[in-house]
Amino acid sequence: MELMETQRVPSGFARLLRHRGLPLFSVMGIRIVADYSWFLIAALIAGSLSMGWFPSVLPDRSLLQYISLGLITAFFFFASVLVHELAHSIVAVLHGIPVRKITLFLFGGVAEISREPGDPSTELKVALAGPAVSAVLAAAFWGAVILTGLRSGRPAAQLSFLYLAIANTFLLAFNLLPGLPLDGGRVLRAIIWRVTGSLKRATYIASMTGQALAGVMIILGLFTILFARQIVTGLWLIFIALFLRQAAEASYRQVTMKRALRGATVGDAMTRDVVTVSPAITLAALVDEHFLHHHFICYPVVEGDHALGFVSIKDVKHIPRDRWSETHVGDVLTPLSDDNTLTSTDGIPAAMRKLAASGSGRLPVVDHGRLVGMVTRGDIMRNLEIRSDLAP
């Protein structure tokens, strides 16, 4: 089922999907990718149709017929999910919001939208595009059920259309529930945003509504397990609810973080009083006077006013201990480059990307060849936390 778009899910989850999956094709420059988890749910749905739905409602057919019907119906089901997601994406693109790709995964479809809509009207249009397509699909499949019912000898087609009609009707109803990250939550947020003028407040209310809906789903899941004895269905409800709850919480955090990032630079977050070392000291002195004294794991190497590089515990560990007294910092330092340095005017998003790419928890900040500070992930997060708390 289609549940959300990537910009409405936890960033860690988005990063996970970004690095795995099988590319399928492109539509209007939007890449369609099947995450590896999608193959599991595709197999489960196709199998349940072939071995459960069709044998129960259409007896006395061959196994090959059941499998064929199951595969065809599953194909159109996932096509419905993809078309729903494409509707969101195309409307976003038409309003100048780039969409990198759509990923099909375990819980449905995810559109990786580069940024949030800039106004309530655009938000509403993007949010309603998917449900509008699902409504059209549901009506078309219900119409097909009626038409095939008028013709004798077409029970298989009618039952396939019936399943697709029910599935699209359910997707429409479920996604219109008024809580993030569902489409109904986006609609609710757009309305509150228009009334209050505050995206942060609107996101908070829609996020809390989404978490409340997730709580109701968990209770329903437990009730299904304990009283209806439907363990698989109950567990599935609970898994989806936990996922929705996490995504709802992340939606609010994401908005507050983006607002906090506006205008924030590395110079706002960096530590200015930095302990440096000379390239001329030995590794023995570096260990005794710095690593064991200040307890930092990395030090900028500076000669005069000129920043040369930095030295870390890893650099020292590569040198045999009996050579520490004769090896100098300048012999093992990591030279500065565009990839491992920042400037004080760099934006926080660029700094976070460079920190992640470097694999280091800290990077020197260098302006015109002169060291002006150091920045760590902790520095950035503390700065963002303060900015988020102060954001209107």
Average pLDDT, the chain: 87
Exactly one of 85, 112, 116, 249 is catalytic; which is it?
85
Q: If you average pLDDT over residues 316-344, what whole number do you get?
A: 91
pLDDT of amino acid 4: 38
Q: What is the pLDDT of residue 170?
A: 95
State the pLDDT at residue 134.
96
* pLDDT given at position 141: 97
Domain of 316, CATH number, reads: 3.10.580.10
- 270 and 370 both lie in a single domain: yes
Please say which residue of 176, 196, 224 terminates a domain: 176
Count of Cβ atoms closer than 10 Å to residue 388 Cβ: 17
Tell me: pLDDT of 385 over 90: no
Tell me, yes or no, whether 222 and 333 share the same domain.
no
Domain count, the chain: 3
Average pLDDT over residues 59-80: 94
Position 16 scores a pLDDT of: 42
Instruction: Tell whether the model's pLDDT for residue 295 goes beyond 60.
Output: yes
Segment 72-99 mean pLDDT: 94
Last residue of a domain, one of 261, 293, 323: 261
Residue 310 has pLDDT above 50, yes or no: yes
User: Is 134 found in the same domain as 5?
Assistant: yes
- Name the band, by pLDDT with cuts 50, 70 and 90, for residue 179: very high
User: Domain limits at 355?
Assistant: 266-390
Domain boundary among 176, 203, 218: 176
pLDDT at 1 over 50: no
Who wins on pLDDT, 113 or 315?
315
User: Does the global pTM surpass 0.75?
Assistant: no
Which pLDDT belongs to residue 293? 85
Shared-domain flag, residues 154 and 250: no
The answer to whether 2 is a known catalytic residue is: no
User: Would you state the pLDDT for residue 153?
Assistant: 62
